[in-house]
Amino acid sequence: MHTLSSVTHFRVRFRECDPLQIVWHGNYLKYFEDAREEFCKEHGFSYYDVRVRGYATPIVKSLCEHKLPLRYSDKFEVEVSFIPTPAAKMIFNYKVTSQNKLVATGETVQVFLDKKGELVLSNPPFFYEWKQKMGIE
């Protein structure tokens, strides 16, 4: 089975750096979200569909491990990969690189909640169909 992934390019903003002159660690979760958004756009996964069908997909786990710092105006890229699972979850892995060096890795896990805010235990039909269409189910 192939891996569905997407690469997004960034440049460190002034306000994202802290007094140590490096990107404040919490900002990586923003980069992950931007990369995830790009992934969804690129692979036809629509948050609009999610909402219209009455689902929400809150994040239940986020992890980031830092190898090297990023500084103001550094260019870097985030590769986000969809990690297949039979469970009703969306798992993404992240690889942050700059000038071919590994800067950070990460993971997020999202679940599906229905209109009542209850956890959905089996794959929502639209999600199952999207995975089939993408050849990852």
Residues lying near a second copy in the complex (CB under 8 A): 13-15, 17-22, 24-26, 29-30, 33-34, 37, 47-48, 56, 58-67, 69, 72-73
- Closest to a second copy by CB, 18 vs 114, is 18
Integer Cα distance of 12 and 17 in angstroms: 8
Write down the least CB distance from residue 126 to a second copy, Å: 18
- Closest to a second copy by CB, 29 vs 91, is 29
- Closest to a second copy by CB, 102 vs 132, is 102
- Closest to a second copy by CB, 38 vs 137, is 38
Write down the least CB distance from residue 16 to a second copy, Å: 9
- Residue 68's SS3 state is coil
Integer Cα distance of 50 and 56 in angstroms: 7
Q: Do the beta carbons of residue 108 and residue 92 sit within 8 Å? A: yes
Write down the least CB distance from residue 103 to a second copy, Å: 12
In this structure, the chain runs to a length of 137
Write down the least CB distance from residue 125 to a second copy, Å: 21
Show the tokens assigned to 135: 């050849």
- Residue 8's SS3 state is strand
The conformation of residue 121, written as its DSSP 8-state character, comes to: -
